[in-house]
Chains A and B, each alone.
Chain A
Amino acid sequence: MFDYEILRLIWWALLGILLIGFAVMDGFDLGAATLLPFVGRTDAERRVVINTVGPVWEGNQVWFILGGGAIFAAWPPLYAVAFSGFYLAMFLVLFALILRPVAFKFRSKIEHPAWRRAWDGALFVGGLVPSLIFGVAFGNVLQGAPFRFDETLRMTYEGTLLGLLNPFALLCGLVSIAMLVMHGGAWLALKAAEPVAARAVTFMHLAAIALMALFAVAGLWVTIGIDGYAITSEVAHAGPSNPLLKQVTRESGAWLANYGTHPWTLAAPVLAFLGAFGVIALSGLQRPGLAILASALSVAGVIATAGLSVFPFLLPSSLDPNASLTVWDASSSRLTLAIMLGATAVFLPVILAYTAWVYRVLRGRVTLAYVSDNTTSTY
């Protein structure tokens, strides 16, 4: 069927699609949870926010689980290095995401104000912390992570949690927060009734402006402040998945090389800006449905920019650049990639179809009257 090189490229694209799927689908409920204390002032208003995502967040979170599973299946060295290397950061994400399912479910079961405030706090943390850390992770991918392999491919990581939280990575974390708050705001503008929707629009505008500014600063920083990586040896595109068989150098400007050789890739950063601008323009035209679409395109543009900048790298090593993980030497075997492509080709369209059906069934705004009339059957 497909040869090994093509399969690796397809799985690189699928990795991007799954990450974008996660950021678009789970991103709006992370963003809505981050906005919860600001757009909902009374318990009823907060319940409006929570019930816009209440029926769908569980399915959305599977994008995260599937992202983890797909990296494990298609890029096992990346799964091993990233999650054990970013160990404590990953624990913070898990901690925050553990709080979310129970917060949605448990909050509604007792009416006491202190109980509800506590779970509101859990939802806020569960929205903000993952948004921040995912951006920080991308920031560290762009800088390279301090890991090396021995000859049996056992990995040693020589960084710390504080090392991950360096200035550039924190800037990327802010990009991520702005992006997901914009997206969460766009969701609430579409799905919540007044007065929540109007407040959400305000935050969405601010976040869209912040995203454009922060994304531009990050781009400038990558251009002048950060070394990229480049493979200097012959590349075996269909070679064995062993990251120790190539030579890599660090050089400034290497992360911009792809935009020079393949100008079409500039579409990604352009999309990130245009999408954010579209969010503002379309919500001004009272088109919340189109605004969230623009927001989703902006999210896709931001993530695609990161992926295209570092291609063919997946995770460079700052400690031993030759050990960097790339598309050509950190994948599964050809057979596994082919099997997983088959499974994805069958099931992803099915998932999209029933997800679309569920959103259709749940169409319409969540109003204050709806949540106060249905105190037991809603969150």
Chain B
Amino acid sequence: MTTALDLVQLSRLQFGLTAMYHFLFVPLTLGLAVLLGIMESVYVMTGREVWRRMTKFWGVLFGINFAMGVATGITMEFQFGMNWAYYSQYVGDIFGAPLAIEGLMAFFLEATFIGLFFFGWDRLSKIGHLVVTWMVALGSNLSALWILVANGWMQHPVGSRFNPDTMRMEVTDFMAVIFNPVAQAKFVHTVSAGYVTGAVFVLSISALYLLRGRHVDIAKRSMTVAASFGLAAALSVVVLGDESGYTAGENQKMKIAAIEAMWDTEPAPASFTLFGLPDQEARRTDYEIKVPWMLGLIATRSIDGEVPGINQLVAHAQTRIRSGLVAYDGLQRLQADRNDVEARARLAAHADDLGYALLLKAIRPDILAATDAEIQQAAWSTVPGVSPLFWSFRLMVGLGFFFIGLFAVAFTLASLRRLHGSRLFLRVALWSLPLPWIAAELGWYVAEVGRQPWVIEGVLPTFLAVSNLSTGSVLTTLLGFVAVYSVLLIVDVYLMTKAIRQGPAPAEPELSAEPDLAAAPAAAE
């Protein structure tokens, strides 16, 4: 019940819900933008009018989805300041830069050219319009890059250090922030997942048309494009999985241990738990079915890399909390006397562990007086909820392998030119429509819930990052966002369905009669 929810929980709920809403539209924008670019490129190269009609038809659906992506994205840019003011103050020096560069380099590009994508067909040359379409695709992909540079830094905060004079984290090496291995792994994985979403979307709706025998010319071609593009993307999303970055940091290691429900370090290479029932209270996993070597290979990309277990990581967290308390003590002395050189040196020597000491703030305000039991309690608070991560991850990976299978069949049928021969396949393709969204939301959940209790891994606990707002204010906006987004989502699905039922515009007779004549379309103006 809401009365039982405190400020931190309400703020997390609002951020989580608005981000999940936004992430319903982002993957389709990423994938469909590239598919539009491919379809229009074929049109420009072959001059066949049917490819232009295809681009325009999928473009209508792209536009409806894009509007929702923009509407839900505006909130994201400002919510850090609104609900996470201490976060913004504490890490804005680093985190703000990729967001601003995203605007400068990517979102401007995407948003400026999207108008011409819709309004420029008769005002631009064929090549001119094709460039516009690819600029939209480039903009959306660069946008994902910078957002994931920002997000990757939250998971693995490199290139920065704590400055006691400004009481915040400050950047020391911006190149390290950009080329953060976690960010790079996330970018490839997320963009590939977006391509899979776009490809499944096109595949499913084309399957619907083929099942009904409507718009067959466009549906078959669309399906062929989606099958080849989707197969490459589905392979990439699994092979270049997000977990390749999980060995990079302490919390990333905790995340993979929690995903695996692996309580103790195993000798390398560790085995992968295919099935099990994790029990967080008893700190064990029952009824495990294990695949030897698999985890070691996935997580470390080697046969001799060790994957640490939860118990060992918690023990290490205890050490870091004690070290962090030394830093905290130094900081307190420094605040009393800014010229205390010895305190400054002590803080600098232990600054990397300061965040671990801050975990104690959830237990008592005067953390320097913490008992051994409280330190141990704080160390155990670094373990995220094991069962939800364990199951979300397995469902997501299962879906990932399903997509490879789906696109492999689609690709084979397309190569044999038998796409509309198999009604069973077409039905499977149609009913697969919601699956990439489920996989994407699960992936987002694993990445962000697996980061808990940190908002910035090892630097700032989530519960300290919130704004000092009244729960009433946050509850008001939470209900407001849910209400407006839900209404818009219903309208969005309704308009999408309407556009799909209407289908592509009919071919203009004088142009479709002889495809080669379409090479010279009427350019108005």
Partner of B112, one of A80, A358, A377: A358
Contact A73–B115 (Cβ < 8 Å): no
Main secondary structure of the interface of B (DSSP, over half): helix
Contact A106–B491 (Cβ < 8 Å): yes
Given the known A-B contacts A333-B171, A335-B172, are A68 and B77 also in contact in the complex, defined by CB atoms under 8 Å?
yes
Contact A155–B89 (Cβ < 8 Å): yes
Contact B116–A358 (Cβ < 8 Å): yes
What 1/0 mask marks residues of chain A from 76 to 117 whose CB sits below 8 Å from any chain B CB? 110111111001101100110111111011100110000000
Q: Is B212 an interface residue (CB 8 A)?
A: no
Contact B92–A58 (Cβ < 8 Å): no
Given the known A-B contacts A72-B80, A76-B93, A98-B75, are A84 and B85 also in contact in the complex, defined by CB atoms under 8 Å?
yes
A70 to B96, CA, bound (A): 7
Residues of B within 8 A of A378 (CB): 119
Residues of A within 8 A of B105 (CB): 343, 347
Contact B112–A88 (Cβ < 8 Å): no
A347 to B146, CA, bound (A): 14
Residues of A within 8 A of B123 (CB): 361-362
Q: How large is the interface on A (under 10, 10 to 19, 20 to 34, 35 or more residues)?
A: 35 or more
A77 to B467, CA, bound (A): 12
A355 to B63, CA, bound (A): 20
Contact A362–B119 (Cβ < 8 Å): yes
Residues of A within 8 A of B468 (CB): 84, 154-157
A77 to B166, CA, bound (A): 11
A74 to B512, CA, bound (A): 55
Partner of A87, one of B68, B74, B82, B124: B82
Residues of A within 8 A of B104 (CB): 66, 343-344, 347-348, 351
Contact A76–B89 (Cβ < 8 Å): yes
Contact B467–A84 (Cβ < 8 Å): yes
Partner of A58, one of B70, B99, B120, B491: B70
Q: Is A59 an interface residue (CB 8 A)?
A: yes
Residues of A within 8 A of B112 (CB): 56, 58-59, 62, 351, 354-355, 358
Nearest-Cβ distance from residue B110 to partner chain A, whole angstroms: 8
Residues of B within 8 A of A219 (CB): none
**Contacts of B93-111 to chain A: CB distance below 8 A:** 93-97, 99-105, 107-109, 111
Nearest-Cβ distance from residue A14 to partner chain B, whole angstroms: 11
Residues of B within 8 A of A372 (CB): none
Q: Is A220 an interface residue (CB 8 A)?
A: no
Q: Is B473 an interface residue (CB 8 A)?
A: yes
A54 to B71, CA, bound (A): 15
Residue ID in chain A nearest B109 by CB atoms: A354
Nearest-Cβ distance from residue B56 to partner chain A, whole angstroms: 9
Q: Is A240 an interface residue (CB 8 A)?
A: yes
Given the known A-B contacts A94-B74, A98-B75, A358-B112, are A76 and B168 also in contact in the complex, defined by CB atoms under 8 Å?
yes
Contact A56–B89 (Cβ < 8 Å): no
Given the known A-B contacts A58-B115, A91-B477, are A336 and B93 also in contact in the complex, defined by CB atoms under 8 Å?
yes
What 1/0 mask marks residues of chain B from 352 to 393 whose CB sits below 8 Å from any chain A CB? 000000000000000000000000000000000000000000
Contact A55–B118 (Cβ < 8 Å): yes
Main secondary structure of the interface of A (DSSP, over half): helix
Residue with the highest number of chain B CB atoms closer than 10 Å, among A64, A105, A343? A105
Q: Is B499 an interface residue (CB 8 A)?
A: yes
Given the known A-B contacts A62-B103, A358-B112, are A335 and B170 also in contact in the complex, defined by CB atoms under 8 Å?
yes
Contact A79–B96 (Cβ < 8 Å): yes
Given the known A-B contacts A59-B111, A61-B70, A83-B85, are A333 and B163 also in contact in the complex, defined by CB atoms under 8 Å?
yes
A37 to B495, CA, bound (A): 25
A241 to B89, CA, bound (A): 11
Nearest-Cβ distance from residue B436 to partner chain A, whole angstroms: 23
What 1/0 mask marks residues of chain B from 482 to 525 whose CB sits below 8 Å from any chain A CB? 00110010011001001100000100000000000000000000
Contact B165–A240 (Cβ < 8 Å): yes
Contact B89–A55 (Cβ < 8 Å): no
Nearest-Cβ distance from residue B58 to partner chain A, whole angstroms: 15
Contact B89–A153 (Cβ < 8 Å): yes
Contact A80–B495 (Cβ < 8 Å): no
Partner of A79, one of B74, B88, B109, B505: B88
Residue with the highest number of chain A CB atoms closer than 10 Å, among B74, B77, B81, B171? B81
**Contacts of B22-36 to chain A: CB distance below 8 A:** none
Q: Is A376 an interface residue (CB 8 A)?
A: yes
Partner of A91, one of B93, B480, B491: B480
Residues of B within 8 A of A241 (CB): 166, 168
What 1/0 mask marks residues of chain B from 160 to 195 whose CB sits below 8 Å from any chain A CB? 000101111011101000000000000000000000
Partner of B167, one of A57, A153, A355, A361: A153
Partner of A65, one of B67, B77, B166, B467: B77
A186 to B246, CA, bound (A): 55
Residues of B within 8 A of A83 (CB): 78, 81-82, 85, 88
Contact A70–B100 (Cβ < 8 Å): yes
Residue with the highest number of chain A CB atoms closer than 10 Å, among B71, B86, B488? B71
A68 to B100, CA, bound (A): 8
Contact A72–B99 (Cβ < 8 Å): yes
A88 to B473, CA, bound (A): 7
A84 to B7, CA, bound (A): 13
Residues of A within 8 A of B102 (CB): 69
Given the known A-B contacts A65-B74, A97-B74, A102-B488, are A55 and B119 also in contact in the complex, defined by CB atoms under 8 Å?
yes
15 intermolecular pairs with C-beta atoms under 8 Å apart: A54-B115, A56-B112, A69-B96, A77-B92, A87-B82, A87-B467, A94-B74, A94-B78, A101-B68, A153-B89, A336-B94, A336-B170, A336-B174, A347-B108, A361-B124
